[in-house]
Amino acid sequence: MDYRSQAELWLKHATDDPEITQQLNSIINDENELKECFYQDLKFGTGGLRGIIYAGTNRMNIYTVRKATQGLANYINRRYTGGSVAIAYDSRIKSQLFSREAARVLAANNIKVYITKELEPTPVLSYLVRNLKCSAGIMITASHNPSKYNGYKAYGSDGCQMTDKSAGEVYNEIIKLDVFNDVKLCDYEEAKKQGMINIVENSVYESYVQNVLSRQVRPGICASSDLKVVYTPLNGAGNKLVRRVLDTIGVKNVSVVKEQENPDGTFPTCSYPNPEFKQALQLGLEQLEREKADLLLATDPDSDRLGVAVRCDNSYRILTGNELGVMLLDYILKGKKENGTLPKDPIAVKTIVSTPLTQKIADEYGCELIDVLTGFKYIGEQIKLLEEKGEENRFVFGFEESYGFLSGTYVRDKDAVVASMLVCELAAYYKNMNKTLSEAIDGIYSKYGYCINNTINFEFDGVSGLKTMQRLMDDLRHNTPKTISGYEVIGVSDYLLSEKTDIISGEKKKINLPQSNVLAFELEKENKVIVRPSGTEPKIKFYMTVTAKSHAEAKEMLNAMAAAIRHDIIKKYAQ
């Protein structure tokens, strides 16, 4: 079927949303636009769905949401008797609508629904699944993507994002379905009356907050530090819970960035609401300087990631996710050891693209450090393995370099609410020693070495972009570069082939991790480059790690490496 015929079919059947009719009529004679909207079905993977909000099979709309949910319902009904699903949503455009449409499909398939009464952070959804003993969970969010995107994260019964196997089974159910003829649907209000759709009670949120508070390392330390904090929820879902938790632990002086305080899926002050990027933090940084606060906290729209900046001298310093991960691990292990709450044989988990400096911190405290693939679901998976052995108390901390952190096992996803609390504890701890977090991380670098990291992204939009990214990865896989930025490549780990190769000796070793389209190039002098296509965005990511004698030298090395990647790799393959 050609794309115009598909569009005409949608014009005939997709009548529940007037916007879709308007959109289709506006592009019906534009072959390129029709192709972008219909050349594929929006793929359901381990991150669920994510796409631009618009008409078409390759877009986020009520029909693609309904079809995905019908596939999930079929999966649940095959595995469970009397299944149930928790649903939450963030501030994005149509998030509440999509959550209700998903609830209607599930209820029509005789699956009980627990849905939040208002927007909530992603970690709350993970908690709801576990607390309410649900078969699965759905979080309507596109995390930190631009405002034109929305998404649909699917969770398993353990409260962790679905792994490859489970997501694959749901996808196999989805592809069997016709988007218009095979989806069951019921009336939302009628389903509520019948008890098939239930609004989550406040007591569950209270329970979540108590679990967050239980992760304090040094209770009371914030109340005695007179910490001054600027906070921005970036127009997302973190505002209420983050502020409540900070107030409870004694952080009373919290100034909120007013322009970014209230939920707004258009994100009017920043086109890319990602706390990894300075542009998203700009208003908060200005307020940090203006008010001479100690630190800035920024949670992304679904409040699972946390960005931090700290005032130092007469300016500020934005801390990287790796720097926060290193300091938090050091703080948690040190604090628990001091107060006698460090478990026997503690375990921390990080992703393979996160800083190797963590290993030195873990070694000092006798903590086992486990490396997993990129994606917090793999950290959650490690907690589940511990839980199955009755050893979940051994887990002390998990993090990924992209500003995702978790302390505790009450949820199985990154949690910016608990991370905000712990960063305030961390800042208070050092403030009581007359140190800033900037001085704290520099002290760690001085002790363990200047192992510095940076990530650069290259976007490849549309149909042609996907092909370019695949070609780039294929070429790197089959034509290993001899050098990167002047450093000899001495080893390659191919996580798709599950094989690590020593270039010098030719020796090959098996990688005991799930297959993933990731390449890691080990360079001489303890440097490293990891490359992978994003699982949620149309971009290739390069993770760079350098080791130097000083911070200035490391920065210079990172800049040179980034320039070399742009010139020698991206320019060559993206033509």
Nearest to 324 by CA among 440, 456, 447: 440
**Percent of the chain having pLDDT more than 90?**
89
CA distance 257 to 268: 13
CA distance 373 to 389: 22
Q: Give pLDDT, residue 462.
A: 75
Q: Is the pLDDT of residue 314 over 90?
A: no
**Which residues touch 548 (CB under 8 Å, ≥6 apart)?**
450, 452, 554, 557
- When the pLDDT of each residue in the chain is averaged and rounded to a whole number, the result is 95
Decide if 531 contacts 568 (C-beta within 8 A). no
**Which residues touch 430 (CB under 8 Å, ≥6 apart)?**
436, 437, 439, 440
CA distance 426 to 428: 5
Q: Give pLDDT, residue 536.
A: 66
Q: Is the pLDDT of residue 517 over 60?
A: yes
CA distance 86 to 116: 8
User: Which helix (H) or strand (E) is 176 found in, with range?
Assistant: none
Query: What average pLDDT does range 215-228 have in this prediction?
Result: 96
The full DSSP string for 38-63 is: HSSPPP-BTTBEEEEBSSSTTSBSHH
Q: Give pLDDT, residue 1.
A: 62
pLDDT band at 4 (very low <50, low <70, confident <90, very high): very high
Query: What average pLDDT does range 8-18 have in this prediction?
Result: 95
143 tagged catalytic = yes
Summarised one tens digit per residue, pLDDT across range 27-70 is 999 999 999 999 999 988 777 899 999 999 999 999 999 999 99
CA distance 222 to 247: 10
Query: What average pLDDT does range 524-537 have in this prediction?
Result: 87
Q: Please identify which of the residues 126, 143, 166, 438 carries the catalytic annotation.
A: 143
The full DSSP string for 327-339 is: HHHHHHHHHHHHT
Q: Give pLDDT, residue 573.
A: 64
Q: Is the pLDDT of residue 420 over 90?
A: yes
Q: Give pLDDT, residue 459.
A: 87
CA distance 129 to 206: 15
Three state DSSP letters for 100-141: HHHHHHHHHCCCEEEECCCCCCHHHHHHHHHHCCCCEEEEEC
Query: What average pLDDT does range 201-221 have in this prediction?
Result: 97
CA distance 325 to 452: 13
pLDDT band at 563 (very low <50, low <70, confident <90, very high): very high
Decide if 287 contacts 255 (C-beta within 8 A). yes
Query: What average pLDDT does range 481-489 have in this prediction?
Result: 95
Tokens of 474: 């294929």
User: Which helix (H) or strand (E) is 228 found in, with range?
Assistant: strand 228-232
Q: Give pLDDT, residue 575.
A: 53
Q: Give pLDDT, residue 83.
A: 97
Query: What average pLDDT does range 203-222 have in this prediction?
Result: 97
Q: What angle do CA 474, 468, 27 make, to 5 degrees?
A: 150
Decide if 381 contacts 372 (C-beta within 8 A). yes
User: How distant, in Å, are the alpha carbons of 21, 76, 437, 524 from that of 14?
Assistant: 7, 26, 54, 57
Q: Is the pLDDT of residue 479 over 70?
A: yes
Q: Give pLDDT, residue 534.
A: 81
State whether residue 345 is helix, strand or coil.
Answer: coil
pTM: 0.92
Q: Give pLDDT, residue 484.
A: 95
Burial-class residue 424 by CB neighbours within 10 Å (0-12, 13-18, 19+): buried
